[in-house]
Structure 1
Amino acid sequence: MKSFLKKHWSNILFVAFLALLIFPQTRMPIQVFVQRIISFSPSEKAEAERETLHDYDWSLQQLTAEGVNFSQSQGKVTIVNFWATWCPPCVAEMPSFQKLYDTYGDQVDFYFVTSEKSEKVEKFMEKNGYTLPIFLQTFEAPKKLESFVLPTTYLISKTGEIVIDEQGAADWNSEKMRKLLDQLLGE
């Protein structure tokens, strides 16, 4: 038996790891951990490739049940993130967003948009100690902000330029991102 274990220990570990990925209770934490390891700073779009958002008419519902219109952010630096509590890459990037929000929350408009039920989102936010501004999507987003991939995040300048259009997890609290926000806020 000892020789069998010595000979096949790596295969046994691999099978055990795969078994852990089968069960949702262990799969999600493993996927979140891996996503955090492989997340890099989001990529800024080249100026020639940037689209400009002109349609800011988008009704959203805050988690607190108050309705807001996205048009209140026209002329401001804005971050829009589409996410879900069941999405490992979304969950993986939330701590970096929380740190960014803690620093820039009074200068940048943040929208964390989900289609999930408010009760589920409230439990998730409370469990993790997040204070991010959550919005429930009740109407379609403007065409230039439509996405079918979670997470998708947009950074919009004061003039409406979509400076970042990032799909997948990213490190939003990177030095590169902070420099970009400072630059956009200074314009």
Structure 2
Amino acid sequence: MKKIKVSTLVSILLGVFVIALVFSPDTKAWVSRGLMKIGLFKPDLERAETTAESVPADAPEAAPAKPSVFFADGAGNRIDAANQAGKVVFINFWATWCPPCIAEMPSIDKLYDQFKDNDGIVFVIADVDNQYEKSKAFMSNRSLNLPVHVPAGEIPSQWLGGAIPTTLILDKKGQIAARHEGMADYSRPEVAEFIQALIAE
């Protein structure tokens, strides 16, 4: 009986791993999560400045912050994410087939766990494919507690361009406080600190 060389075995294992990376979103997500753990993929939390163009000088104080942007849960309840008066809003656009989305989801779940009992923030985890049941099953199968939503109207282009995942954090006036396109680690302490500061404003 012929013995398999160690180099041949290593080549076979590497080949299987590369094939898994190409065809399995979960394998890609696993590799990406490993990279997040070593400090890569920090979210962009640079605060966007409100300009004179974005808020007219003669605008009345009671005017709504932004046009309505609606999302719905599985029961058909709608939430206007742009007008959650006095609340910070965390919005993540994702899909179940997207490896970077899958990779960052456990970090978002950790962030959600920190704030789930805080009335000062609302989480909207929006499946861009509008497949609520599939997304809900995804969360359940991975023991994630995130609230799933689907878009229930037009999404502004400044919120979602052409890439997922995209994450927004809106301040209490409905203005974009932070926007990050691509995968990030939202379990980092600076994310919770950024949100806490917005809640305290």
The answer, yes or no, to whether TM exceeds 0.5 is: yes
Instruction: Please name the residue that 2:44 is paired with.
Output: 43
CA deviations over 1:16-72 (Å, ceiling 9, x no partner) = 3223335x4xx2221011111223331212545989694241222112222232344
Equivalent of 1:33 in 30, 33, 36:
30
* In structure 2, C-alpha distance between the alignment counterparts of 1:186 and 1:7, rounded to whole Å: 58
* In structure 2, C-alpha distance between the alignment counterparts of 1:35 and 1:153, rounded to whole Å: 17
TM superposition score normalised by structure 2: 0.78
* In structure 1, C-alpha distance between the alignment counterparts of 2:115 and 2:7, rounded to whole Å: 54
Q: Which moved more, 1:103-112 or 1:158-167?
A: 158-167
Name the structure where helix makes up a greater proportion of residues. 1
Gaps spanning 5+ residues in structure 2: where? 56-64
Matched-pair contact (CA < 8 Å) for 1:41–1:177:
no
- Which amino acid is the alignment partner of residue 191 of structure 2? M
Count of matched residue positions in the alignment of Structure 1 and Structure 2: 183
Instruction: Please name the residue that 1:186 is paired with.
Output: 200
* In structure 2, C-alpha distance between the alignment counterparts of 1:173 and 1:52, rounded to whole Å: 31
* In structure 2, C-alpha distance between the alignment counterparts of 1:73 and 1:9, rounded to whole Å: 57
Matched-pair contact (CA < 8 Å) for 1:153–1:165:
yes
- Which amino acid is the alignment partner of residue 17 of structure 1? F
Give the Å deviation of 1:6. 4.3
Instruction: Please name the residue that 1:84 is paired with.
Output: 95
Structure 1 segments, 4+ long, off by >4 Å, are 6-10, 46-54
Instruction: Please name the residue that 1:110 is paired with.
Output: 123
* Identity in percent: 28
Equivalent of 1:136 in 145, 150, 156:
150
Matched-pair contact (CA < 8 Å) for 1:100–1:172:
yes
CA deviations over 1:114-159 (Å, ceiling 9, x no partner) = 1232221221122122222211113111342132211000111123
- Which amino acid is the alignment partner of residue 190 of structure 2? K
Q: Which moved more, 1:5-14 or 1:147-156?
A: 5-14
Q: Which moved more, 1:105-114 or 1:7-16?
A: 7-16
- Which amino acid is the alignment partner of residue 33 of structure 1? W
Give the Å deviation of 1:104. 1.1
Equivalent of 2:161 in 147, 169, 179:
147
TM superposition score normalised by structure 1: 0.83
Asked if 1:159 is matched to 2:173, the reply is yes
Matched-pair contact (CA < 8 Å) for 2:100–2:165:
yes
Instruction: Provide closer, same or farther for how the CA distance between residues 85 and 69 of structure 1 changes in structure 2, counting only shifts above 3 A.
Output: same
Q: CA RMSD in A?
A: 2.6
Instruction: Provide closer, same or farther for how the CA distance between residues 49 and 158 of structure 1 changes in structure 2, counting only shifts above 3 A.
Output: closer
* In structure 1, C-alpha distance between the alignment counterparts of 2:71 and 2:89, rounded to whole Å: 15
Instruction: Please name the residue that 1:60 is paired with.
Output: 71
